[in-house]
Structure 1
Amino acid sequence: MLELAVAVALIALNGVFALSELAVVSSRRARLTAMAEARKSGALAALALTENPGRFLSTVQIGITLIGILSGAVSGAALGERLAGVFLDLGLGKGVAETLGYGLVIGVITYLSVIIGELVPKHLALRNPEAVACLVAPGMRLISRIALPAVWLLDASTRAVFRLIGQETASASAVTEEEIRTLVAEAETAGVIETGERQMIAGVLRLGDRAVRGVMTPRTDVRWIDLSRDEADIRAALIDSPHARLPVGEGSPDNMVGVVQVRDLVRPLMAGEPLNLPRHIRKVPVLPDTIDALAALAALQEAEVPLALIHDEYGHFDGLVTPADILDAIAGAFRSEEAEPEAVQRADGSWLIAGWMPADEMADQLGIRLDPSRHYETAAGLVIDRLQRLPETGESCDIAGWRFEVVDLDGRRVDKLLVSRIESEEA
């Protein structure tokens, strides 16, 4: 019975090593760090193991290899011999008895090693890898120190082989944006987060990739006050404007001098007093159109008035950006009397898309990938980039399995696109 107890103990010990290996490898460093900050027992040791995976994996391999050798040499041989003796007593021949005895012992030990020593511990480790890693990490660090010479030899040999084949032993642990999107989508499917939360997270990720041109209100849509006009025209423009702040220029949008807040002018407007507009003009930051949306957000947070003017490299006014534009990029467009929907799906599955719809939002809607090095920011820009010229009404181009047809122009600006799947049309 001693041999049987030794065999069971070795299989259980193999399970501990398998459990430890998968738990530490599967643990997320961010969660381990949070557990360490909360003074969770074993968390610091688990973090140390994840920071040096080569030594840890060498320790685990040494343990599993020694257990395999002992199981075969001690328990397997002794149990096989004893079981062969039982078969001899039952009247079987020596050759048959030894074959059956050793075969049965090897089969049972192998089966128990796979189930008890591998599969069950690994399934347990995957249930809560960080908690298991904290539990086993102190013991694994102790074994690593005891077997330091052998661990060092295996780790150094592994690194040498990797250098010979031109690779690094350190794994690429950087999390990509695509992995974050996949994780968020899985969390939505599992009910951990709401659909609206997932959409806002996707909007934040898109914001980091957008240039300020992709979130600003373009020059053609900006209402502004011209100081060179007479006071009656300025009063009419202020009263007619739906905006709380208006940029002010002298003769041309390319000569912007600042911004006025309509609330500062309500009293003279209502009382019929002189406006004295220059007195109410406030300075706002002027940003180049080459910066990204996050840099523009930082500038808005520091500005006296939360509005920034966007100019190109030649000093021409391109548009303006406000916190509402940033929120629109994150949470989606808000309904208003003037705004049109960005995208409307029709009964046949095609989409009617506004030319000004951000290209990355359109790509998410249609499930297509855009070139990361693109120089356009809108759906209309995508079509123009593909055609390499300004399109005419009725022209179309095929992109990633979709047909983009220009159905409406506003002057030379692409106003509406009809987007339909090419496969459905061919069918």
Structure 2
Amino acid sequence: MSFLYNVLGILALILVSAFFAVSEISLAASRKIKLKLLLKKGDHRAQRVLDLQENPGHYFTVIQIGLNAVAILGGVMGESALSPYIFSWLQLFYDGPALQTVSFAISFSLVTGAFVLFADLIPKRTGMTEPERIALAVAAPMTVCMKLFAPLVWFFNGLADAIFRLFRISVVRRDDITSDDVMAMADAGAQAGVFLNKEQHLIANVFELDTRGVASAMSSRNDIVFLTLGESEESLYAKITERPHGKYPVCERDSIDTVMGYVDSKDLLPRIAKGSKISLRTDPIVRKILILPDTLTLFEALERFRDAREDMAVIVNEYALVVGLLTLQDVMSTVMGELISPFQEELIVQRDENSWLVDGTTPIEDVMQALDIDEFEGWENYETIAGFIMYMLRRVPKRTDKVEYGDHAFEVVDIDNYRIDQVLVTRIGGEGRTA
């Protein structure tokens, strides 16, 4: 057999090996989400690839048979094809005792290098770049190969299945997508420029709705503006003028714990504009209010809002005491993050690169995100940054009290009737201690 025929034979084996290599990596790397999108667009080849991913045993058995057969033939043919010609060429310069060994080593290196580069490395890297497109192209010829090698495939695949069953190893490919997977893809998309950073934060905030409690977004008990049934008209005018809101809870007595409903500003303003008298006790404008427990997550609260067709709810604890007020806007502010209303005061204000002024009622999750802290100690025992400081101090704080945690120092700078109003956070180097 001439040198040309030998070289052509090696090239043919390299092409066959490259086909099997790219087929293997493309099927393994193809993502079901993209394949299903292609199927919806009318590319029926995607269904064949999805079927192969569900039961890949025969597919990979054919690939391994092909790769091993080609490797053996390549070794036999390569040594016999090139060694005599390399031997003759080297003999022109050297005719010593090691000539046979040297010619064999060069022949072996050339054939092995060609197979590694062109039959394995380049095809697999190509298959990783466009796995779905290549998988669609090779699915049909691989199906033909599975039929041609059916007896061998049945034998080897049966042995492999028996070994898997013996060691109780699952052969079912799982493609369950979790919220962590989506977050990782969003992060990769942001780094690649597909998503804006704000879009990435928006996706993260949406998934946090199922883990954050209602207390992390609600207005606290002390901040609730409410009306009472027996309140005078002058008092009603003053509250509505000084602290305007879309809706006001209505209580039987001068205590938020006696809440019985709410009144919409749209029902009050026409009466005020006409100069009509307002009496919550006589005018039938008090509506039934939604009551939610403080154990709900924000996602569960959204479902309650949807079912009740309301956008405001009073939050109560296990003792039926009102602990806060939650509105649909509060939940949306949590989702939108920095895209808050211009009339809403920011809870976290960054003073410079290493310091922040934080409102005491700021949800601990927001503080973790702003300061890039993975987790606070005992975070399940409190909802706000004020709660964290009290948890660490183990007492009611006073001004200038400081807590050092990790690389940050949390100093109480303002107290309002035993309530932490403002906290100054500075970045330091520390192990986590209280003062």
TM-score (norm 1): 0.88
- Distance, in Å, in 2 between the alignment partners of 1:172 and 1:388 is 47
5+ residue gaps in structure 2?
A: none
- Distance, in Å, in 1 between the alignment partners of 2:138 and 2:301 is 48
Q: Work out whether residues 399 and 413 of structure 2, in 8 Å CA contact, stay in contact via their aligned partners in 1.
A: yes
| Deviation by residue 1:38-93 (Cα, 9 ceiling, x = unmatched) | 122421122123223455443332221121112113x2243145436635975965
TM-fit CA distance, 1:178: 4.1
- Distance, in Å, in 1 between the alignment partners of 2:31 and 2:221 is 47
TM-score (norm 2): 0.86
- Distance, in Å, in 2 between the alignment partners of 1:2 and 1:161 is 42
Partner-residue secondary structure (3-state), 2:195: coil
Q: Work out whether residues 53 and 173 of structure 2, in 8 Å CA contact, stay in contact via their aligned partners in 1.
A: no
2:17 is aligned to 14
| Deviation by residue 1:115-142 (Cα, 9 ceiling, x = unmatched) | 1112211222222221112112233333
2:409 is aligned to 403
Alignment RMSD = 3.0
Q: Does 1:69 align with 2:72?
A: yes
> How many residue pairs align between the two structures?
424
- Distance, in Å, in 2 between the alignment partners of 1:314 and 1:158 is 61
- Distance, in Å, in 1 between the alignment partners of 2:349 and 2:164 is 54
Higher mean displacement: 211-220 or 82-91:
82-91
Question: Which AA in structure 2 matches 1:227?
Answer: L
Q: Does 1:382 align with 2:388?
A: yes
1:205 is aligned to 207
Using a 3 Å threshold, how does the CA distance of structure 1 residues 294 and 266 change in structure 2: closer, same or farther? same
- Distance, in Å, in 1 between the alignment partners of 2:59 and 2:330 is 50
Q: Does 1:325 align with 2:330?
A: yes
2:230 is aligned to 228
- Distance, in Å, in 1 between the alignment partners of 2:165 and 2:399 is 59
Q: Work out whether residues 396 and 418 of structure 2, in 8 Å CA contact, stay in contact via their aligned partners in 1.
A: yes
Partner-residue secondary structure (3-state), 1:341: coil
5+ residue gaps in structure 1?
A: none
Using a 3 Å threshold, how does the CA distance of structure 1 residues 307 and 137 change in structure 2: closer, same or farther? same
Question: Which AA in structure 1 matches 2:18?
Answer: G
Higher mean displacement: 346-355 or 103-112:
346-355
- Distance, in Å, in 2 between the alignment partners of 1:385 and 1:53 is 54
1:307 is aligned to 312
Using a 3 Å threshold, how does the CA distance of structure 1 residues 234 and 157 change in structure 2: closer, same or farther? farther
Using a 3 Å threshold, how does the CA distance of structure 1 residues 210 and 110 change in structure 2: closer, same or farther? same
Using a 3 Å threshold, how does the CA distance of structure 1 residues 53 and 287 change in structure 2: closer, same or farther? farther
| Deviation by residue 1:236-274 (Cα, 9 ceiling, x = unmatched) | 323333211111111122222221111111122223323
Q: Find the partner of 1:347 among 344, 352, 364.
A: 352
Using a 3 Å threshold, how does the CA distance of structure 1 residues 68 and 353 change in structure 2: closer, same or farther? same
Question: Which AA in structure 1 matches 2:40?
Answer: E
2:197 is aligned to 195
1:106 is aligned to 108
Q: Find the partner of 2:400 among 381, 394, 403.
A: 394
2:28 is aligned to 25
Q: Work out whether residues 210 and 299 of structure 2, in 8 Å CA contact, stay in contact via their aligned partners in 1.
A: yes
Q: Work out whether residues 88 and 94 of structure 1, in 8 Å CA contact, stay in contact via their aligned partners in 2.
A: no
- Distance, in Å, in 2 between the alignment partners of 1:285 and 1:153 is 66
- Distance, in Å, in 1 between the alignment partners of 2:371 and 2:160 is 46
2:368 is aligned to 363
- Distance, in Å, in 2 between the alignment partners of 1:297 and 1:175 is 23
Q: Work out whether residues 353 and 416 of structure 1, in 8 Å CA contact, stay in contact via their aligned partners in 2.
A: yes
- Distance, in Å, in 1 between the alignment partners of 2:158 and 2:400 is 66
- Distance, in Å, in 2 between the alignment partners of 1:363 and 1:181 is 17
For 1:45-194, what aligned pairs fall within 5 Å after superposition?
45-73=48-76, 75-83=77-85, 86-87=88-89, 90=92, 96-148=98-150, 150-151=152-153, 154-155=156-157, 168-170=170-172, 173-194=175-196
Q: Find the partner of 1:259 among 253, 262, 279.
A: 262
- Distance, in Å, in 2 between the alignment partners of 1:414 and 1:167 is 56
Question: Which AA in structure 2 matches 1:345?
Answer: Q
- Distance, in Å, in 2 between the alignment partners of 1:355 and 1:43 is 54
